[in-house]
Structure 1
Amino acid sequence: MPHLDFTLLLQGQYRDWLLSGLLVSLQLSGLTLLAALPLATAIALLRLAPSRLARALGFAYVEGVRSVPLLVHMLFWYFAAPEALPQGLKAWLYGGNIEAAAAVIALTIYTAAYMAEDIRSGLRAVPHTQLEAARALGFGFLQSMRLVILPQSLRITVPPLISQTLNLWKNTSIATVIGAAELMYQAQRVETASFRGFETFALVTAGYLSISLLITALAQLYQWRYPLRVAS
């Protein structure tokens, strides 16, 4: 077995590349989470709305997005979508960090489709009589959801949303295919320059594992602090 030496990767430019990639991955996760949560909530409400058209739109979004691999979403928003824009706007986008922007858009649309179903399940778990009581008090559908149903569904909804956050964190690695300078992109860069494949990807694995375990610990802490009580 060849001699393993991690010290080369824990100093100088190789360390800086890996830390930079970790930071970009965290930023992609954070920005996507902030954008996906309100979008997912809106889609979940569409799927429960009184209007058939609204429910159909929500269903079409969820099934349409989930039926296409995330890799295809990434490639579409990086290569295809900008081609439909005016030349000036397209040049401006490509002059900036379009890789990260395309990654966030693709991750947001993809993640929101899955989160919407978790939110919808939480909303449906609240007894329907709560909605009927709110409507009897004169509240509209959206007002009833915002003031009565959504607050009650949080304890049911948060644990699966944390699991989706874990999936989101791992899915950021796919952004390497469009050149976003996240952790996997930088790992390939370090491996090519240092010829230390085992050490490089061992460190990257440790990085992904550490953040994943942290998210899992937050989920366990939440479930311990707010245990789910099923109404009899």
Structure 2
Amino acid sequence: MDYNWNWGVLFEEPYLGWLVMGVQWTFAVAIAAWALALVVGILVGVGRTLPSRPIALVCTAYVELFRNVPLLLQMFLWYFVMPELVPDDMGRWIKRDMPNPEYVTAVIALGLYTASRVAEQVRAGIESVGTGLTNAAYANGFSVAQTYRYVLLPISFRLIVPPMTSEFLTIFKNSSLALTIGLLELTAQSQQIAEYTFNGFEAYTAATVIYVCIALVATLVMQVAERYTRIPGYMGSK
């Protein structure tokens, strides 16, 4: 069956504006969720390697819970279920009065989910440093906090830059699930354009190209960061 391609529709208003707005919301969700994921993920990842068994168990439980529950389900739980579990006044505020509840929910759900994956990278980075440097730090009178601050974390953070690139790209792709709770990010806007114009191929192709461009730019930035943070003698560095 012949298909009448019409790429010009993407440059007409309001459809071009919808695409631009979708890109803006995608970046807003991904960047905010990434900031939350880094903070929580670092704390949980460090907690999993601490000598304190209770803290390690709590952090492990967090990772297993958030990493193994599908992100889509977590979105629904935060958006539909959580307001019903809190006190009535807070629930009404979350559902009716909180600014941009879809955006806030998407950031929280995506950020906490990604934090469980970041925590695993941080844990792996710390454990890859080895016991030699850790024992040397303790032998020189370092406390646990000083050992992490001056020895383990500076090295492990530089080691995990390559795998964190993948997590950074993934958070942009996962932000598309925010459309299920009503946030008009890039995928939702392309779907809306397809429904209004019946030019679905053009709309989804445009979204695909934009996602690819975002991925390429992010990859280049992270490659530069990796080059400057590489430690000679680790992970095949020269």
Q: TM-score, normalised by structure 1?
A: 0.93
Q: 1:225 to 1:192 in 2, by over 3 A?
A: same
Matched ranges for 1:116-135 at <5 A: 116-135=119-138
Partner of 2:18: 17
1:177 aligns with 2:180: yes
Letter of the structure 2 residue corresponding to residue 173 of structure 1: S
Partner of 1:70: 71
Q: 1:3, CA displacement in angstroms?
A: 2.1
Gaps of 5+ in 2: none
Q: 1:146, CA displacement in angstroms?
A: 1.8
1:143 aligns with 2:146: yes
1:165 aligns with 2:141: no
Match of 1:222 among 215, 220, 225: 225
Could you say what secondary structure the match of 1:112 adopts? helix
Choose 220-229 or 3-12, whichever is displaced more.
220-229
Q: 1:82 to 1:143 in 2, by over 3 A?
A: farther
Letter of the structure 2 residue corresponding to residue 184 of structure 1: T
Letter of the structure 2 residue corresponding to residue 58 of structure 1: C
Alpha-carbon distance in 1 for matches of 2:77, 2:233? 43
1:156 aligns with 2:143: no
Could you say what secondary structure the match of 2:14 adopts? helix
Partner of 2:47: 46
Give the fraction of aligned pairs with identical amino acids, expressed as a percent: 34
Match of 2:114 among 89, 106, 111: 111
Alpha-carbon distance in 2 for matches of 1:83, 1:37? 28
Q: 1:150, CA displacement in angstroms?
A: 0.7
Q: 1:226 to 1:45 in 2, by over 3 A?
A: closer
Alpha-carbon distance in 2 for matches of 1:203, 1:94? 33
Q: Cα deviation per residue 1:157-191 (whole Å; 9 max; x = unaligned)?
A: 11111110011110000111011121111111111
Alpha-carbon distance in 2 for matches of 1:98, 1:221? 36
Q: Cα deviation per residue 1:91-126 (whole Å; 9 max; x = unaligned)?
A: 222232111111111101110001111111111111
Alpha-carbon distance in 1 for matches of 2:48, 2:31? 26
Partner of 1:2: 3
Alpha-carbon distance in 1 for matches of 2:87, 2:184? 26
Could you say what secondary structure the match of 2:233 adopts? coil
The answer to whether the 8 A contact 2:161-2:226 is kept is no
Partner of 1:189: 192
The answer to whether the 8 A contact 2:66-2:113 is kept is yes
Choose 153-162 or 65-74, whichever is displaced more.
153-162
The answer to whether the 8 A contact 1:70-1:110 is kept is yes
Q: 1:46, CA displacement in angstroms?
A: 1.1
Q: 1:49, CA displacement in angstroms?
A: 0.8
Q: TM-score, normalised by structure 2?
A: 0.91
The answer to whether the 8 A contact 2:159-2:230 is kept is no
The answer to whether the 8 A contact 1:159-1:222 is kept is no
Alpha-carbon distance in 1 for matches of 2:35, 2:140? 33
Alpha-carbon distance in 1 for matches of 2:150, 2:231? 21
Could you say what secondary structure the match of 2:151 adopts? helix
Matched ranges for 1:79-94 at <5 A: 79-94=80-95
Q: RMSD of the TM alignment (CA)?
A: 1.7
Q: 1:20, CA displacement in angstroms?
A: 0.3
